[in-house]
A and B are shown apart, each in its own frame.
Chain A
């Protein structure tokens, strides 16, 4: 058995060697993409462009504006002088937020009456908008506290803050979103490479008619499958190593947990991905169909359904159920556990089980469909 499997491996490797272009794409792009996207993927909201509409122009309003200006979160791009400018600034994305200070701002503060500051936020990107909302809330509260304590001190009370919040961020103290997203990027690149190369290499043989030749040979199907997928698994594994290395060099993403565990889980994930590739190849007769199917089941779902970018918790329940069909989901959890949190297998053994079940189910389905197809021919 090993001999025959090995023979197929040799044939595949020889075919791959002839296809320098494909190899170049497979090896150079993932690392390149990781470097480029690693810088691109982040939700770190800083330097928010704000415009100020100060109708008061008093000492208090200037005080408040200065407090905004001195924060690294805000960039004051413009001062506007009429309410019609508000529309223009938001429509043309000159500013993300417009701060409107009412004309009686200082008068009210000085006479100890309540007042408000209006914030008009561009809500198109709701995530950024909520972050801006939080910042604005905090900035107002801070200013409020400052004024209050000034008044209290003037009235002879001791300056006093009843409650303070001490926030600690674990695993990622400076809240860099890049570190969180890189494991997702790794999973996505790996699954795309594995699914597409495997699916296509099978369908190609089908299209060219060489699949029949392989079928009538004395090869057992397991030998054929193993032989054809092994080279791609090795390629993907090497890729994974390169990507991790690039992640370390360029983004300082260190593997906190065990490397052995990482290797093993990656191997399991790659097996799952290749079985997905095999499944697609059984279903499709042309490379075009295989490719469309492969992008639709691997590229976008691993981006959107896997928890890579969008928290699975926030999805509707039905979609949460569907995410269980995305192998990248499990692998991303594992990667985050090993790389970012450095925890052991006890924290994610269930994910490994899911991955194994997924692989088994796909292989069984694929062989059932394959058999039926073979009989109907």
Chain B
């Protein structure tokens, strides 16, 4: 026991001697969280729109006004030819081009269907889909109005057709800000990256410098070396996650609605798997360069893309969904978001926490075994 403590002390000493590393570990996450938290945003507002109004009538102007007053569209310019539309959309300067035909008003007055064209730059399918939805809502609203006017004028009472209105209530995140979804996700991501980099490199570094052999010839047993190497990282990771959660609270005003202790407990479980993965990477790499490439490509990128951090897992094909089950961050993300956004706690998320603990133990166990064999 005493020797482990000595060893842990030595590890901390090493950290202290490398102030750049220390700074990177504790400051970079906050900077990253701030930058990325503000940037990670899928909210579609102020759609850049151009209008080709062939009709130039009072009705068409009224119709365009509906778009601007909805608050979602910003009309960049009025154009007067299809060529110009092609040019602007090709350049990427507008997402939506509205084309109002020259018989727009005439058709409406004579009770025929007027067709408005919405030309969208579909390259960003997500945004384009949402914009198309907004436009359709405005058009149906307008259409409904025309019918009501018509009925009014024809002497029928307004209420002679029922209107079914959708009453939409959004839970957990009423303003529909993607930020509230992304920032907690970034917390998990940063925690993973820090722990992974640290462990995978720390061990390989000793190998490369040749101090590993010195460690091996000490009376320390392999498990003592592993514990001694990992404990400082667990401590540092806790410091990091506390700082990150505090930053989330102060900078973005996103409080932890649920059980904070449960969040920390799950973080501990989660760190077990990332440390284990880091240790594993270190056992299969000879140089730090290899360790880095492997941890980025084989561990971090899958974490980013397959954990449901930005891309909903439900949208993925079944086979990819299966792969995502072995990504520990997937479960940690559910916990972070559940606790922070939904205000849930252990009674709802115990299963995820249990899975994390199991994964952590299994990963750590096998990488320690491998590591031990390497040492011997």
Contacts and interface: CB of A to CB of B under 8 A. Distances in A.
B35 A322 contact: yes
Given A296-B24, A337-B92, A91 B124 contact: no
A289 B135 contact: no
Nearest to B341: A124
Contacts of B179: 126
Nearest to B197: A292
A36 interface: yes
Interface in A306-342: 309-311, 313-316, 318-319, 322-323, 333, 336-337, 340-341
B92 A177 contact: no
B308 to A, nearest CB: 9
B147 A172 contact: no
Contact of B42 (A168, A296, A299, A310): A310
Contact of A295 (B41, B161, B300): B300
Interface stretch (B49-57, B164-172, B223-231): B164-172
A162 B113 contact: yes
A138 B146 contact: no
A292 B178 contact: no
Contacts of B372: none
Nearest to B323: A36
Interface size class of A (residues with CB under 8 A): 35 or more
Contacts of A319: 35, 38-39
B95 to A, nearest CB: 9
B174 A296 contact: no
Nearest to B174: A123
A49 B314 CA distance: 10
Contact of A117 (B121, B123, B159, B167): B167
B173 A124 contact: yes
Contacts of B28: 292, 296
B312 A128 contact: yes
A114 B163 CA distance: 5
A143 B89 CA distance: 34
A47 B317 CA distance: 12
Interface string A204-240: 1001000000000000000000000000000000000
A30 B159 CA distance: 62
A347 B44 contact: no
Given A42-B311, A163-B114, A295-B300, A127 B119 contact: no
A165 B159 CA distance: 26
Nearest to B157: A112
B177 A126 contact: yes
Contacts of B120: 167-170
B311 A305 contact: no
A259 interface: no
Interface stretch (A21-29, A263-271, A358-366): A21-29
A163 B301 contact: no
Contacts of B46: 313
Contact of A90 (B39, B146, B171): B171
B261 interface: no
A288 B41 contact: no
A91 B342 CA distance: 7
Contacts of A201: 289
A334 to B, nearest CB: 11
Contacts of A293: 24
Nearest to B202: A288
A301 B39 CA distance: 10
A248 interface: no
B293 A163 contact: no
Contacts of A37: 301, 305-306
Interface in A281-311: 284-289, 291-296, 299-301, 303-305, 309-311
B90 interface: yes
Contacts of B137: 134, 137-138, 141
Contact of A164 (B133, B139, B167): B139
Given A42-B316, A164-B139, A315 B39 contact: yes
A125 B312 contact: yes
A171 B92 CA distance: 11
Nearest to A25: B293
A79 interface: no
A324 B21 CA distance: 26
A42 B208 CA distance: 41
A258 interface: no
B288 A287 contact: yes
A311 B117 contact: no
Contacts of A291: 197, 201, 288, 292
A162 B21 CA distance: 66
B166 A25 contact: no
Nearest to B142: A163
Interface in A114-159: 114-131, 133-138, 140-141, 143-145, 147-148, 151-152, 155, 157-158
Interface string B284-299: 0111111011101110
A44 interface: yes
A209 B44 CA distance: 52
A172 B116 contact: no
Nearest to A336: B123
Q: Which of B45, B143, B170, B342 has the largest number of chain A CB atoms within 10 A? A: B170
A124 B90 contact: no
B25 interface: yes
Nearest to A143: B164
A375 interface: no
A175 interface: yes
Nearest to B337: A124
A360 to B, nearest CB: 24
Interface in A157-204: 157-158, 160-173, 175-177, 179-180, 192-193, 196-197, 200-201, 204
Contact of A39 (B89, B177, B293, B316): B316
29 contacts: A22-B290, A22-B293, A25-B294, A26-B293, A36-B302, A36-B305, A44-B315, A90-B172, A109-B164, A112-B159, A114-B165, A120-B170, A122-B171, A123-B171, A126-B173, A151-B160, A151-B161, A163-B116, A163-B139, A167-B117, A170-B120, A192-B296, A204-B288, A291-B197, A291-B292, A292-B24, A305-B39, A309-B310, A310-B39
Given A287-B205, A291-B288, A341-B90, 7 more contacts: A43-B126, A126-B42, A141-B166, A162-B111, A163-B113, A165-B135, A300-B32
